[in-house]
Amino acid sequence: MVVHTGSTRGYRAMISWYPEADIGIFVAFTGNDPNYLYRLSLHNYIFDVYTGHIPYLNTSTICTYPEPWLKSDIAQVKPNYPKDRNTTRGQKEYIGTYKNKAYGKIKINKHTEKNKLKLKYGYLTCVLYPSETKDEFYGDTTGISLKSFDFYKFKFKFNNDKVTLKASSFQEQPSFVKKGKLYNDAYPLYTTSMSFPVVILCVCLTLF
C-alpha cells in the first residue's frame, strides 16, 4: 500500500494505492482532520467494500467512532449559555441577507419567539440567542448541522445605514455586509476551514 496525504488552510486530502487489489482511492474535504482520523477511516471503509470485506464501520459504530476502539476527544457538549435574554434591538433591524465576496451569503430570518433569530448559511442552520454583549448572539445548531459545535458566536455591527455581521467562529472571522447596503469595500479572499466537512469522494480504478 502506498499512501500520501496533503493539507492546506481549510482542506485535507489523502490518496492511497493498493497494487494487489488494483484500486486507488482519493478523498478531499473541508475542515480539520486531526491524526488523519477521518481520512484513514474512510479509505479503510472504501477498501473493505471494494474488496468484499465486512467494514468495521456500520450504521451502529459510525455515530460513536472512534469509540468503542478509542476514546474520542471531540467535544460532545455545546457551550452553555442563557436563552432567556431579549434582543437589544427590534428583530427587523437584524433580519436580512448578508454577503461576503469570498464566503457567500448568510440569511437572518424571524423566529417564532421574539428574543430569537434564525441563521442560515448553506447547510448550517442556527437559532440565535442574544449574549450578554450588545448585538452579539450565540448560535445553537439545528437540523443537519446539529452536531457542529464550532459555529456559535455571531456579532452584528451598526454604522449609520451599513450593517455588518461578523462570523467570530470562522477561522478568519469574516464580516458579511447586509444586502442592499453594499459598498465598494475590498474583501480578502480566504479559504474557509469549517468543522462540519463537505466530503468530495472519488474512487479511481488504476491500471498500474
Helix, strand or coil, per DSSP, at residue 49: helix
- What pLDDT does residue 10 have? 73
- What pLDDT does residue 48 have? 92
Cis, peptide link before residue 66, omega less than 30° from 0: yes
- Which residues of the chain are modeled with pLDDT < 70? 72-79, 114, 147-151, 171, 181-208
- What pLDDT does residue 187 have? 40
- What pLDDT does residue 147 have? 64
**Total H helices, total E strands in the chain:** 2, 12
Q: Does 103 share its domain with 67?
A: no
- What pLDDT does residue 11 have? 84
- What pLDDT does residue 74 have? 60
| pTM metric for this prediction | 0.55
Which tens digit of pLDDT belongs to each residue from 157-181? 999 889 999 988 776 788 999 987 5
Among residues 176, 174, 170, which one has the least CA distance to residue 153? 170
Whole domain around residue 8: which residue ranges? 2-73
- CATH number of the domain enclosing 173: 2.40.128.600
Q: Does 45 share its domain with 103?
A: no
Among residues 104, 81, 206, which one has the least CA distance to residue 165? 104
In a domain, residue 7? The reply is: yes
Q: Does 113 share its domain with 171?
A: yes
**Domains: count for the chain:** 2
Q: Does 98 share its domain with 174?
A: yes
End position of a domain, from candidates 20, 40, 73: 73
